[in-house]
Structure 1
Amino acid sequence: MVVDKTILNNGRETVIGHISEPLPNLPQALHCFDSRNNRLALSAIQRIEPQIREAIKQYGSDRIAVVIGTSTSGILDGELALEKKLEGHAFPNSYHYRKQELGHCSDFVAAYFGLTGPHYAVSTACSSSGRVFITAQRLLKFGLVDAVIVGGVDTICRLTLNGFSSLEALSSKHCLPFDADRDGINIGEAASIMLLSHSPAKVALLGAGDSSDAHHISAPHPEGIGAEEAMNNALINAGLSAKDIGYINAHGTATPLNDSMESKAIQRCFGGRVPVSSTKPLTGHTLGAASATEAAIAWHILNYDLDLPIQHCAKKAQDIHISLVESPIKLGGKAILSNSFAFGGNNVSLIFGYAHG
């Protein structure tokens, strides 16, 4: 991923996290699914394709579900096609409106693997790919399937860039979560795909919690009531207590309201003991893919015993009362909690840890 600057419709400049490496081409038989979003999804799928193929052999193609979180789907392809149309040309032959449908990526993944089990999308803005883990957890609990391909995929498009700009939520510089000078988000793009099942693994989803405080369509509850409820629900679901959490990957968007309310919620749930950081300066805010992207970061920390991500907060804001990761340290507890909060107060907290720890 590279950090670029781009000019918005209002003439302002913002920073974006853009994937610059070439993305894989879809198989010719699946050309109807071709979009940047699905090519990005394929780049993530290929990393765990052997494990998915093995699960298909073990369980059967009708016993594996696909649940993908997204907020943009193939809107970028629609924007590019519309530009051609407005220039006086016809829509490109390769374009079809279904590329913008939210379920297009889950349809593609199911078609790619020849799956006949449930496959659908979840779109709850920035918590989309956190909610897919809750959906997968339920599908497995009730025996509807034996494995679930979960994740999130979002690509940068002008619609979201200019939409967030209209909310005055974008920063013109590299984002600064929890900093006194924080002034907004950077948008990024990402794909993260995982396979969930009851089969033994070193790292597991231990718990998940959600809430919907519905405080405001685009602003979080100032005291973080919904965020606190989601974190507590995740602890209950995991059968853990606050002292079991060794690190919190905060939603940490670097907007004044979000960071303030999240700090309050974490302080009430965990006090100042647990180290906290936001990884969005590394990835940008990847919107519908944010939860899954940060779940992958948690998996890597646990699987490879990596240092916790450092916040690099030059000037901690006075309204932030949590313990930020300021130097290289290892995970000091059993598990990692990862937060994602979205428009309309749609909140999700996930807990990952060692399956037998």
Structure 2
Amino acid sequence: MSKLRLPVIVSMGGINAAGRSSGHHAYRRMVFDKLDSSMQYDTLSSLASMCGLELTESFSVEQQQDVLSRTLIRQVEQNHFDVENLSWMTPLDTHDRAGKAMEFECRRKQLPRDLPPNWVVQDLADDRVSVRMEGQGRLFVPNTRIAPVQSAGQLPTGFDPANLYPSRFHPRGLQMSVVAASDALNNMGLAWESLCAALPADQIAVYSGSVMAQLDDNGYGGLLQSRMKGGRVSSKQLPLGLNTMPADFVNAYVLGSLGATGSVTGACATFLYNLRMGVEDIQSGRRRVVFVGNAEAPLTSEVFEGYGAMSALATDEGLRKLDGSDKADHRRASRPFGENCGFTLAESAQYIVLMDDELAIEMGAEIYGAVSDVFINADGYKKSISAPGPGNYITLAKSMAASAALLGESSVRDRSYIQAHGSSTPQNRVTESRILDKMARNFGINSWPVSAVKAYVGHSLAPASADQMMAVLGQFAHGWLPGLKTSGAIADDVYQDNLNFPLDDIELPDRDVAFINSKGFGGNNATAAVVHPAKVEEMLSKRYDKETMNTYQAKLEQTREQRAQYEASVSKGDWQVRYRFGEGMIEESDLDLQRDSLRIPGWDKVIELPSSTPYDDLSLS
């Protein structure tokens, strides 16, 4: 029986409301108060650089507060939309008064093609006309309103991914994809060209996408609004608006990949859906390197309006009622498992890089953890598309049982924790806590630690479980589990007999495995098991001899040196974003096609064409 390849995480990168993911900086922002002074300085420097602030040898109390206030959930900033003056079109029904019609002048070319029947038009000089509107009519008048929802998880104030590479006409979600994928690539500490030299082109994959597609003015937002605004549709808005475009951009402009590509959309569980594709590719041997990630830029007034109509978002009125205050606490808008009133939208782009264990050992890659399994199940028949169901029981039970089989019962019982979906809705706090409590009891866990990073960065939809992944990898590296600091207290209707909901960060230095749980609209449930890197090393020592592991350790030092160079660069503002528009293009005439192989210019290894079939019992050859 051939050995199953282990999918190990060899890099991560990205951006969200907590900052930059590489170097665990976004994670460190969540547990900032628990860091030593050196780590605090590094985190502040990273954030200050992102925000375009001047770097100093030390940060005063005022400077530190200024930097930190630019992060996490906060009031929506005007680069997204003006919450105090939300654009609106008010219909105005008019009537003539005592037979006196309304009259106005305009340019003839501004007249509608189909004149209303009660308009009387007369020509004036200079191609102008007089319009007399008799009887009843309707006008649409530009107006403004105060936005009912004013909180969001936004990229650090002052950070604009568009400034890091030539991004003209790119929707914000694609800008974030390029920056985040480049961060993951550079953080790997291995030259991408060296990996390409070691692999055929078809053994690389990129699985990435978004849930809401690209909805700003450069994407579908501008496409659908252009007529109503009197503008024109551009040639780029429709193609760049596609929800699979994050993968396409990473392939075409960051990696130059010719391997597998695509995205599976599963609402808020989308990252885990794509992660499962990557895990299965690695396990089967179909791919040896897989970029998995998602990007979402949903902070447009229309998306707020849509989720607001579902009563899904935390409104300012709801926050004021919770606190008995006349002012909404935007910093604490998301309160997982506490007294809450809805989730908080967020923007984020996150990528991890998976390798099979053999290639990681061969290349000397850093191993941040391993993804042993991802389980996905639907809810079955539903009375409402947003209502919970039994599917999450299946995903969690399978994930925990599989981890117990791999690592031992005690690893799950005594040395695990859960990164919960924790959307901060009244319904979620009850239904998810009930599931987690039953799972803990079923596996003999008396006090299962529960964390939910949406308290810090909000709900980014497609990358939401990727935000959870970054927090897991940070906890593995530094030991601190981010607590539910924004919740204040756990709600009375939350199940917690066998659960531990820490309201402050707690130290968990000896965890073997973490579970990432995600629950999405429509019955999209997913749970992933992430194995601690120390446990991964213990597992790999059973597969590889001591000499091989010693050689790996020597190569690993070189990898860490390369990664340290990137860290020093990006912390000073040089992100080294990899954007290769029109570079290294391959002419189809240069392809070398043989009966049993295909050679791609620039790739040392040939793509071998199938010479046998797995359907032996059905073969007619």
Q: Same fold (TM over 0.5)?
A: yes
Q: Distance in 2 between matches of 1:89 and 1:154?
A: 26
Indicate if the aligned counterparts of 1:66 and 1:149 stay in contact, CA closer than 8 A. Answer: yes
Provide Cα deviations, 1:199-234, integer angstroms capped at 9, x if missing partner: 24242213222211133411213xxx3222111122
Picking from 244, 252, 255, the partner of 2:425 is: 255
Aligned pair 1:208/2:367, yes or no?
no
TM-score (norm 1): 0.90
Structure 1 residues 327 and 284: alpha-carbon distance in aligned structure 2, compared to 1, 3 A threshold: closer
Unaligned runs of 5+ in 1: none
Structure 1 residues 150 and 274: alpha-carbon distance in aligned structure 2, compared to 1, 3 A threshold: same
Provide Cα deviations, 1:250-279, integer angstroms capped at 9, x if missing partner: 100111111111101111111341111211
Provide Cα deviations, 1:6-26, integer angstroms capped at 9, x if missing partner: 477785233111224110458
TM-score (norm 2): 0.53
Indicate if the aligned counterparts of 1:210 and 1:233 stay in contact, CA closer than 8 A. Answer: no
Structure 1 residues 25 and 65: alpha-carbon distance in aligned structure 2, compared to 1, 3 A threshold: farther
Indicate if the aligned counterparts of 2:149 and 2:308 stay in contact, CA closer than 8 A. Answer: no
Aligned pair 1:120/2:285, yes or no?
no
Picking from 400, 413, 420, the partner of 1:235 is: 400
Q: Which residue of structure 1 lines up, in the alignment, with residue 150 of structure 2? A: 14
Q: Which moved more, 1:52-61 or 1:188-197?
A: 52-61
Structure 1 residues 120 and 182: alpha-carbon distance in aligned structure 2, compared to 1, 3 A threshold: same
Question: Over aligned residue pairs, what C-alpha RMSD do you find?
Answer: 2.3
Offset of residue 27 of structure 1: 6.1
Offset of residue 62 of structure 1: 2.5
Offset of residue 92 of structure 1: 4.1
Aligned pair 1:176/2:335, yes or no?
yes
Helix, strand or coil at the partner of 1:87: coil
Q: Which moved more, 1:53-62 or 1:107-116?
A: 53-62
Helix, strand or coil at the partner of 1:150: strand
Picking from 235, 244, 251, the partner of 1:103 is: 244
Q: Which moved more, 1:228-237 or 1:101-110?
A: 228-237
Indicate if the aligned counterparts of 2:334 and 2:344 stay in contact, CA closer than 8 A. Answer: yes
Provide Cα deviations, 1:72-110, integer angstroms capped at 9, x if missing partner: 2312232135444422121245x3301221211111111
Unaligned runs of 5+ in 2: 1-16, 18-70, 77-82, 89-144, 320-332, 362-366, 539-621
Provide Cα deviations, 1:280-333, integer angstroms capped at 9, x if missing partner: 02111000110111111111111x224100112323112211310233322242
Q: Within 5 A, what are the aligned runs for 1:1-357? A: 1=17, 2=71, 3-5=74-76, 6=83, 11-19=147-155, 20=157, 21-24=159-162, 34-50=170-186, 51=188, 53=192, 54-76=194-216, 77-92=219-234, 95-112=236-253, 113-156=255-298, 157-172=300-315, 173=319, 174-179=333-338, 181-198=339-356, 199-200=360-361, 201-214=367-380, 215=382, 216-221=384-389, 225-238=390-403, 239-240=406-407, 241=409, 242-243=412-413, 245-271=415-441, 272-302=446-476, 304-312=477-485, 313-320=487-494, 321=496, 322-331=499-508, 332-354=510-532, 355-357=536-538
Q: Which moved more, 1:181-190 or 1:205-214?
A: 205-214
Helix, strand or coil at the partner of 2:469: helix
Offset of residue 159 of structure 1: 4.2
Helix, strand or coil at the partner of 2:243: coil
Q: What amino acid maps onto 1:231 in structure 2?
A: L
Q: What amino acid maps onto 1:68 in structure 2?
A: S
Percent identity among equivalent residues? 22
Q: Distance in 1 between matches of 2:232 and 2:450?
A: 51
Offset of residue 56 of structure 1: 2.6
Indicate if the aligned counterparts of 1:209 and 1:235 stay in contact, CA closer than 8 A. Answer: no
Helix, strand or coil at the partner of 1:208: strand
Structure 1 residues 80 and 338: alpha-carbon distance in aligned structure 2, compared to 1, 3 A threshold: same
Indicate if the aligned counterparts of 2:345 and 2:459 stay in contact, CA closer than 8 A. Answer: yes
Q: Distance in 1 between matches of 2:372 and 2:470?
A: 14
Indicate if the aligned counterparts of 2:375 and 2:528 stay in contact, CA closer than 8 A. Answer: yes
Alignment coverage as a number of residue pairs: 349
Indicate if the aligned counterparts of 1:244 and 1:335 stay in contact, CA closer than 8 A. Answer: no
Offset of residue 158 of structure 1: 3.7
Indicate if the aligned counterparts of 1:252 and 1:278 stay in contact, CA closer than 8 A. Answer: yes
Provide Cα deviations, 1:160-196, integer angstroms capped at 9, x if missing partner: 32221111010024121111x2110000010110110
